[in-house]
């Protein structure tokens, strides 16, 4: 993935996390405070994996071994995707949460070009098979796990609609979902897909213990900041990347709104990375 902007965000985050009292004074009482502060912040260690934001709800995951997977391939037609990311070097796997155009807008050309393994719910799998892209289509459904190269994925619930636009027709794509992705080194990521908050996010938190959650905050079609804050509490997650906002004017939720709604959650770090930025 040549040309990815790496390291930049990490440095910025480090600088922000030095509390004022630690810079101004170094008496023993203040060092004790610093110790408590450091204990509260759970540092994010991605164990050599990288998470790259392509804008909207599209993320690229690069493993230490160099495999590259994408969640929701909305790339070339994504208005938030930087030009330098629109030409992929490789694509080993695609995980599809649901089939609205802002999630699979570039699935067919990418499937044809790279012939990746594609995990999708059963009805979407059948549709993709019928397109004869040459990709290796892997069916799944909620609660089921499978190993896909360096990645292990579990499909989760999501509360959203789902349909495929195919030459002017609307085709049933199965139910919308989310993904738990286990990365090499024991890092667990949760991509919620498009959804509102739901009580069983607590189960997802208890069963999978995600290190980081990718949550929609844009409102109108998904959770806004207030519901996303409740999702964060239910999941018990300490690192969140907000997504599905700012792509179109109708998506009004903002990271600032999300920060305001979550300021009471101890030890939470919100990584509001910009399209083109990489975590890890
Ligand atoms: Zn969407």
pLDDT digits over 139-151, tens only? 999 999 999 999 9
| Spacing, Cα 28 to ligand 1 middle (Å) | 50
Domain assignment present for 66: yes
| Spacing, Cα 60 to ligand 1 middle (Å) | 17
Instruction: Name the pLDDT band for 42 (thresholds 50, 70, 90).
Output: confident
Domain assignment present for 2: no
Mean pLDDT estimate for the chain: 91
| Spacing, Cα 260 to ligand 1 middle (Å) | 23
Q: Which residues surround ligand 1, an ion (CB under 5 A)?
A: 102, 194
pLDDT digits over 213-241, tens only? 999 999 999 999 999 999 999 999 999 99
| Spacing, Cα 63 to ligand 1 middle (Å) | 26
Domain assignment present for 204: yes
pTM here is 0.87
Q: What is the pLDDT of residue 29?
A: 60
Compare 11 and 127 and report the one with higher pLDDT: 127
pLDDT digits over 110-126, tens only? 999 999 999 999 999 99
- Parent domain of 19: 8-279
Q: What is the 3-state secondary structure (H, E, C) of the chain?
A: CCCCECCHHHHHHHHHCCCHHHHHCCCHHHHHHHHHHHHHCCCCCCCCCEEEEEECCEEEEECCCCCEEEECCCCCCCCCCCHHHCCCCCCCEEECCCCCHHHHCCHHHHHHHHCCEEEEEHHHHHHHHHCCCCCEEEEECCCCEEEECCEEEEEEECCCCCEEEECCEEEECCCCEEEEEEECCCEEEEECCCCCCCCCHHHHHHHHCCCEEEEECCCCCCCCHHHHHHHHHHHCCCEEEEECCCCCCCCCCCHHHHHHHCCCCCCCEECCCCCCEEEC
pLDDT digits over 182-211, tens only? 999 999 999 999 999 999 999 999 999 999
Domain assignment present for 237: yes
| Spacing, Cα 199 to ligand 1 middle (Å) | 21
| Spacing, Cα 4 to ligand 1 middle (Å) | 24
pLDDT of 103 > 60? The answer is yes
Q: What is the pLDDT of residue 3?
A: 40
| Spacing, Cα 97 to ligand 1 middle (Å) | 10
pLDDT of 18 > 60? The answer is no
pLDDT of 20 > 90? The answer is no
Q: What percent of the chain has pLDDT over 70?
A: 85
| Spacing, Cα 209 to ligand 1 middle (Å) | 25
| Spacing, Cα 165 to ligand 1 middle (Å) | 14
| Spacing, Cα 198 to ligand 1 middle (Å) | 17
Domain assignment present for 150: yes
Instruction: Give how many domains the chain has, as a whole number.
Output: 1
pLDDT digits over 251-272, tens only? 999 999 999 999 999 999 999 9
Domain assignment present for 126: yes
Domain assignment present for 86: yes
Domain CATH for 233: 3.60.15.10
Domain assignment present for 273: yes
| Spacing, Cα 244 to ligand 1 middle (Å) | 7
Q: What is the pLDDT of residue 1?
A: 43
């Amino acid at each position: 993935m040549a040309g990815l902007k790496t390291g930049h965000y990490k440095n910025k985050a480090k600088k922000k996390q030095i509390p004022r009292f630690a810079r101004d004074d170094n008496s023993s009482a203040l060092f004790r405070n610093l110790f408590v502060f450091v204990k509260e912040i759970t540092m994010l260690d991605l164990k050599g994996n990288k998470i790259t934001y392509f804008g909207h709800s599209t993320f690229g995951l690069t493993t230490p071994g160099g495999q590259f997977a994408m969640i929701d391939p909305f790339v070339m037609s994504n208005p938030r995707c930087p030009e330098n990311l629109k030409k992929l070097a490789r694509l080993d796997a695609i995980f599809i949460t649901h089939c609205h155009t802002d999630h699979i807008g570039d699935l067919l050309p990418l499937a044809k070009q790279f012939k990746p393994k594609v995990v999708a719910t059963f009805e979407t799998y059948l549709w993709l098979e019928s397109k004869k892209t040459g990709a290796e289509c892997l069916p799944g459904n909620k609660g089921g796990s499978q190993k896909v190269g360096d990645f292990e994925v579990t499909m989760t619930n999501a509360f959203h609609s789902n349909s495929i636009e195919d030459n002017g027709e609307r085709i049933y794509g199965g139910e919308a979902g989310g993904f738990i992705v286990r990365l090499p080194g024991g890092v667990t990521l949760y991509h919620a897909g498009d959804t509102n908050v739901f009580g069983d996010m607590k189960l997802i938190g208890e069963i999978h213990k995600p290190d980081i959650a990718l949550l929609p905050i844009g409102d109108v079609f998904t959770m806004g900041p207030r519901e996303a804050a409740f999702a964060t509490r239910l999941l018990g997650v300490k690192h969140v990347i907000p997504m599905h906002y700012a792509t179109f004017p109708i998506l009004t939720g903002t990271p600032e709104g999300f920060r305001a709604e979550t300021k009471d959650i101890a030890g939470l770090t919100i990584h509001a990375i910009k399209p083109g930025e990489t975590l890890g």
